[in-house]
Chain A
Amino acid sequence: MALLEVEGLTARYGKLQVLHGIDLSVDEGEKVTLLGPNGAGKTSLLCALSRTVVCGGKVSFDGRSLGRRDASSVARLGIGHVPAGRGTFVDLTVLENLRLGQLGRARSTAGNRQGDLDLVFATFPILADFRERMAGQLSGGQQQMLAIGRALLGRPRVLLLDEPSLGLAPLVVRDLFVSLARLQSEWGLSLLLAEQNARLALDLADRAYVLAGGRVVLSGPTAAISSADLHAAYFAGHPAPSASRNEIASEASRD
């Protein structure tokens, strides 16, 4: 049985419905990515899972339904959510931000907390160097690492990551994804990643769901998804601009 089991998930902002019945699952130890164009519903899906948007449908975590739990109680259950745009506490120091990640957690000993903090500093060494600096003074990439580190300290079983590459330079994104690859083994968690950078996300993840218009239009192991499949899913109904089918097929090997 999957760690996270989602059936018929819907979500709305006021009267606007943005998710129209999503089925999805994440197994223990898996890395799953959500892809799709802007407005497809990737962020809404993650928000529906963390209960920060009005939603319906069935979500089971570790065999138990989430029911009508509110957002902070879902977080304490073990679903960590790093929102798009980082959400760091800009007027607090790096260390204070990290400490807050630990305070929300249900049970932990002082020894565990120090050990976890050391592990975060090992995963993201730059945070150790800047521990007394105000979070608002860090660069975008550093704030992203801080937001992830802060969520990790809650020891989630599933980490929901919303567009970590947003607004970051390509080199920074590449380094970030190297860290993400190690997260699952270092922290023993499953990953659900929403990303615009399809190539890096497909390289990282085991399985992918492609969303468009609030629905899943493609899903399966990442190894079996080609550029052509992606293109068809993203731009359903809009033909490829001037690229021949042969060119798309040769891109499918993804160097």
Chain B
Amino acid sequence: MAGYKENEMMAIRAGRFIKDGDVVFVGTGLSMLAAMAGKRIYAPNAILFFETGGIDPSLEEIPMCVSDLRVMYGSSLNSGLIESFSIVGHKKLRTIAFLGAAQIDRYGNLNTTCIGNYLKPKVRFPGSGGACDVAALASGFIVFMQHEKRRFVEKLDYLTSVGWYKGWDSRIKLGLKRGGVIAVVTNLCVMKFDEITKEMYLAEYYPGVSIEKIVENTGIQIDVSRAIETTPPTDEELRILREEVDPQRLILGKK
């Protein structure tokens, strides 16, 4: 037994991407855990903010969504959507966003809209929300995925949020001057993107997870030659996540 859950590994690994001074755009669920853990453990001067307009709240209890009253307490500013999007794309800030998705392709483009035909979908998801916006405007974004074959696809059913678009310099050619997808954090591994081609590759596998298992569960061909093992969560990381970030285990769930 590893002594920790998959979602704890995911939250901690994603939190390690946050650098001190980053302005972090936080969504619902795992991204809330990663951002709150990251700030408490590695980046005390990071600022967490929400698309709803809550800027740097004290987050003494974990919010269950981005409009939760808990993002409005102890904040430096309570504002609105227009204000929060003026932060996401601000050129003097390094803004990092966490996003989730139902589908992802090899260039890190995301689908959170539907499976099947757009007009009469097999499954409908909530839609873009602010995801399309932050993917376009932030300095970079990190994606959470459940690692299943059907979620890693050659062609998205709907492209909601642009990552590296069609690879190489196609994102910049679209007219998006900065940003792009930094990494994909799944329940098995971390994927990153080649600096030149912008194609997804396996960067890290979690302790106890085989590369074969990852390849089996990925619906697209990926390069695994650069993969290393992820540093497991430390006792201190786990303590902060469990005792300070989500003591009620609202998002972490049962032990």
Verify that A and B bind, or say they do not: no
Give the B-binding residues of A (Cβ under 8 A): none
